A = this chain, B = another copy of it.
């Protein structure tokens, strides 16, 4: 009898848990919809295909960075170097394509490899040298910032010799098929990356260990998990994803701008946290991060389209970030 009782309550709980989880995501999504609706009413120019595409395009780089750093944040870490790493990856692509005159795939590989290697270094500093992630990646942020300037001699590298390079972010595969829906490739890349990372997190050993590290690293280690190794792998994977971000921004700007990148890390982390991932690790979703990045992009674009004075844009952005997370918090409290 107690068994059936348990079973029954079991299903209810599971269902309730699933419902509250789904609800939460739905409600985060609702914040997004609310913002879009608000701006659409406030300005006739907002809800237009071209502007929506501009928003998605604007979200793509930050979104990719945010998805990458989501992995690290779930392990309980943080990565402040993603902004300057993105730039460094773009620079290395420039070196390979423009200076080296190599074919496009090698340039793409250069960005990914650079990202993964730098991630590997950060990961090793964190996992092996036991340097707190904040400091390890703050150091990497400065090192990579300097390296980008050193490698380029402080001048942008342009991709004029590789005309197809701009297609990575700016072309539209979808638009070629469905002309009414000219989704830029950058957006496509964002969604593909997000889907892949969501799959990794949800279905693979790496994903499971990502959560385990964030939840209780010592317990994972004492279960025979090679925690250091997996952590390094996660940082490297995140670095590779940042490399994709580097490709996107370089493609959008048709150049590798060596001084770019500082400040992008905070924006990406903000997207992650708005998306409901906890900075203390152990929990988080890619879908949430995606919504977080979209909320930020919609906000920025909408305020601009409404011609709000720039200083007020900043204030309103600050308020909405707080309110969005507060809403999420309320829901959680209620769910608890």
Contacts and interface: CB of A to CB of B under 8 A. Distances in A.
A88 B318 CA distance: 15
B266 A145 contact: no
B315 A135 contact: no
Contacts of A270: 135, 138
Interface stretch (A125-133, A171-179, A209-217): A125-133
A319 interface: yes
A150 interface: yes
A147 interface: yes
A135 B73 CA distance: 14
B146 A311 contact: yes
Nearest to A154: B311
A146 B314 contact: yes
Contact of A135 (B130, B144, B321): B321
Given A129-B326, A131-B326, A333-B130, A314 B274 contact: no
Nearest to A278: B132
Nearest to A321: B139
Nearest to A263: B262
A140 interface: yes
Interface in A288-336: 310-319, 321-322, 325-326, 329, 333
Contact of A146 (B80, B145, B315): B315
A136 interface: yes
B322 A145 contact: no
Nearest to A265: B266
Interface string A262-279: 110010011001100011
Given A134-B279, A273-B132, A325-B135, A150 B318 contact: no
Contacts of A333: 130
B142 A318 contact: yes
B149 A329 contact: no
A143 interface: yes
A331 to B, nearest CB: 11
A232 interface: no
A141 interface: yes
Given A143-B315, A146-B312, A146-B314, 19 more contacts: A80-B266, A129-B329, A130-B333, A132-B278, A135-B325, A136-B325, A138-B321, A139-B319, A139-B321, A140-B322, A142-B314, A142-B315, A142-B318, A144-B318, A146-B315, A147-B315, A149-B314, A154-B311, A262-B263
Interface of A: 80, 125, 129-132, 134-136, 138-147, 149-150, 154, 262-263, 266, 269-270, 273-274, 278-279, 310-319, 321-322, 325-326, 329, 333
